[in-house]
Amino acid sequence: MQRVRKQIHFFSESGLKDGEGVTIAALDSGVADHPDLERKVLGFKDFISGGKAAYDDNGHGTHVCGILCGSGKLSEGKYRGMAPGARLVIGKVLDKDGDGSAEIMLSGLDWILEVRERYRIRVLNISVGIGDLRERKKEQALREKIEQVWDSGILVVCAAGNKGPGNGTVSAVGGSPRVVTVGCHDGDYRPGYAGLCAAYSGRGDRNGRVCKPDIVAPGTDIMSCNGDYLRLNGRAGSAYIPKSGTSMATPIVSGAAALAFWQYRWMTNEMCRQKLLFTAADLGLPWNQQGWGMVDVRKLLS
């Protein structure tokens, strides 16, 4: 995360840029009990097995939550998230294998609409690369529900997916004009390395009606909270784990948006979307690969 901060120009000398009072929702595999996420979860609902207490039997969601707002407690701040003052509302829509369904995702989106005012949700993070559903009715239903969430005033930030680099490989729901679709690019990190996320980040349709992705962020070797930490009895070195993909790039943008909502309390989701895009750093790449460019927090908050 220290490397990511340099790449996206996120410098907080005053220590005040933390997103306090902003609520971020995430539909993912859940969230584990991790010291970096202590007292951050305001609400949790399990759409897989109906459990009451928050948990994560896959680890993906915990990693995403750490990027969003982890305190960095166990790393003395080194691996703190983007908006460590923000709070979380988590819907578990993925099982232990990271699998889910359109029906479960729709239920999760309905729940977000139901509780949005109670928890004052400003951002919804969807780090779930929903691919080609092969059933257009389900895909359309998901898009319509996500757009309904957007119309309720929530900024929806969605992963572009990892099916690239072919043309038109953005996630099925990432093609909506009423979401901020996040692709993956690592800037100057590890030049020449074949495994960088830009090699597989979903790309938009060059001839499509909507230009996607909207923006990119780093996504390779992102160090964040390990959902197995407590199960491993807090063994030294097990608190954090690296993961890669557009799933990791997406909470970087969601966290940046939370900082914007914290700084500009009057901002609407559409205003935030425009400011994210118009302040992004152009990487000089094709539009269907980079969108407006790399998220730039310094410009976003200035």
pLDDT of residue 208: 82
Tokens 């951002």 belong to: 123
DSSP state letters, 17-82: -S-TT-EEEEEES-----GGGTT-EEEEEESSS--SS---SSSHHHHHHHHHH---GGGTTTT--S
Establish whether 214 is a catalytic residue. no
| Residue 33 phi, psi (nearest 5) | -80, 105
In three-state secondary structure terms, 185 is coil
pLDDT of residue 134: 61
Which among 29, 36, 57, 60 is annotated as catalytic?
60
Establish whether 63 is a catalytic residue. no
The answer to whether the pTM exceeds 0.85 is yes
pLDDT of residue 232: 75
CA gap 203, 169 in Å, rounded: 5
pLDDT of residue 21: 93
pLDDT of residue 14: 45
pLDDT of residue 234: 62
Which among 18, 28, 56, 186 is annotated as catalytic?
28
- Token pair of 84 as six digits: 């460590």
pLDDT of residue 61: 98
% helix, strand, coil for the chain, step of 5:
35, 15, 50
Establish whether 28 is a catalytic residue. yes
**Interior angle at CA 274, CA 269 and CA 275, nearest 5:** 95
The answer to whether the beta carbons of residues 279 and 94 sit under 8 Å apart is: no
Which among 29, 244, 247, 254 is annotated as catalytic?
247
Encode the chain (302 residues) as per-residue pLDDT tens digits: 889 999 999 976 544 568 999 999 999 999 999 999 999 999 999 999 999 999 999 999 999 999 999 999 999 999 999 999 999 999 999 999 999 899 999 999 999 999 999 999 999 999 987 655 566 788 889 999 999 999 999 999 999 999 999 999 998 888 889 999 999 999 989 888 889 999 999 999 998 888 899 999 999 999 999 999 987 776 656 899 999 999 999 999 999 999 999 999 999 999 999 999 999 999 999 999 999 999 999 999 98
- Token pair of 249 as six digits: 């790039």
Taking only the tens place, the pLDDT of each residue in 183-230 is 999 998 988 888 999 999 999 999 888 889 999 999 999 999 999 998
